Amino acid sequence: MTSTAPVTGRAPARRRARTPIVDADIHPVVTADRLAAALPEPWRRRFLRFGLRGAPPPAVYPRVRHGGMRRDSHPEAGPPGSAVRPPGSDLDLTRSQLLDPYDVVAGVLIPMQGHTAGAEEPAFAAALCRAYNDVLVTDWLDPEPRLRASICIPHESPAEAVAEIERRAADPRFVQVLFPSGTFLPWSDAKYRPIYTAAAAHGLPVAIHLGGTEGHRGDGWPSFYLEQHAWYGNAVAVALTGLVAGGVLEAVPDLQFVLVEGGVSWLPSLLWGLDDAWALCRDDVPWLTRPPSEIVRERVWFTTQPIDEPPVPAHLATTWEQTGMTDRILFSSDYPHWDFDDPITALRVLPAALRRPMAAANAARLYGLTLPGSEA
């Protein structure tokens, strides 16, 4: 966790990273005026007159102040009378605080607004997600070649979600399909299979990011941020168990999942427990013909943030090595949140043999990116 910088002006340039960084979790924000401009009628009028079903992140966060954002990540005010722009809405500020000072050679955009928009009434949800994706192209991808994006989909309306995947899949700058952890039904429910199948058909991983309409933990809203931050992995672990036991990973064999913002250190004990339970109860899940840990190690990726900070730093490397999946862990900063992980310091407790692949190479392999110096 990186402490919030004091509000003394824009963050100064930092020392450069020794290795290139690929950041798997950057949060852009599409402001209401930009979203309205991208919406066709009658959806623009509906949005302006009635708004959305629920407040999108960060307004829903129990992070008490500043929407959970770094205090220095608020763009400077425009002319008198102009709307206040939220953190994550300014590409130049993202460049100056993240991309440039840390040698981020590629960053994957995850617009959290897609979490809640995807659960609106089907036609409205589809229009909102199309608009978010359109704005990502014009405001972020076109002017900044280092960026990639996640396809926002109306995840509770699979037919419309598949249509949006089909519409965006030909653009190589969209590198994954965004899915929230907080869905109406378990991830393993057959309702969502068409989405998974469509993503797999286009070679796109499904990135499941913490959040959504249900909450952040799988058991209701937390009252304190301490609960939320310290146990982000809870919802992700529960959902991963459902994906495995429900046979999703077997039913859609070409699909890769990326579990974002759920941490990693809970994984070894879960894999041990899954394998042990499978050995005892395999008749209950006959579609699982091999130990669950083998399946997870072939099909699932994880991101680092919020990185664990044990009192003995070496314990972190030991725990992650116990996953047997260090080649599937991606660095993520979670910019512009206040508990953002600094791309240089977050991984420094790890030995170089673990740190360097996680900084960039693992993500480059998953997303098909070419790193500097690796060109043929």
pLDDT of residue 9: 41
pLDDT at 154: 97
Q: Which helix (H) or strand (E) holds 160?
A: helix 158-168
| Residue 374 to residue 108: CA distance in whole angstroms | 20
Average predicted confidence (pLDDT) for the chain: 88
Look at 7-16, 116-125, 135-144, 349-358 and tell me which has the smallest mean pLDDT: 7-16
Mean pLDDT of 219-230: 72
Model pLDDT, residue 32 = 92
Strands in 192-344 per DSSP E: 206-212, 257-260, 300-303, 329-330
pTM of the model: 0.91
Residue type, 27: H
Under DSSP, the state recorded for 13 is P
Give the angle subtended at the CA of 31 by the CAs of 97 and 303, to the nearest 5°: 50
- Residues whose CB is less than 8 angstroms from the CB of residue 225 and which lie 6 or more positions away in sequence, other chains included: 62, 63, 64
Q: pLDDT class for 115, splitting at 50, 70, 90? A: confident
- The pLDDT of residue 16 is 54
pLDDT class for 41, splitting at 50, 70, 90? very high
E strands, 51-141, are 104-109
pLDDT > 70 fraction of the chain, expressed in percent and rounded: 88
Amino acid of residue 140: W
**Is 180 strand, coil or helix?**
strand
CA angle 199, 251, 247 (to 5 degrees): 115
Range ranked top by mean pLDDT from 25-29, 82-86, 340-344: 25-29
Please give the full DSSP string across 52-73, using - where no structure is assigned. -SSPPTTTT-S--SGGGB-GGG
Calculated CA dihedral for residues 334, 340, 344, 347, nearest 10 degrees: -80
What does the pLDDT read at residue 5? Answer: 38
Between CA 260 and CA 109 the distance in angstroms is 12
Instruction: Give the chain's count of helices (H) and strands (E).
Output: 15, 8
Instruction: Tell me which residue of 202, 137, 190 sits closest to 166, measured CA to CA.
Output: 202
Residue-level pLDDT at 233: 84
Q: Has residue 58 got a pLDDT over 70? A: no
- Cis (ω within 30 of 0) for the bond into 292? no
> pLDDT tens-digit profile of 240-276?
999 999 999 999 999 999 999 999 999 999 999 999 9
Q: What is the rounded distance in angstroms from the CA atom of residue 206 to the CA atom of residue 249?
A: 12
Q: 213 with 183: CB under 8 angstroms?
A: yes
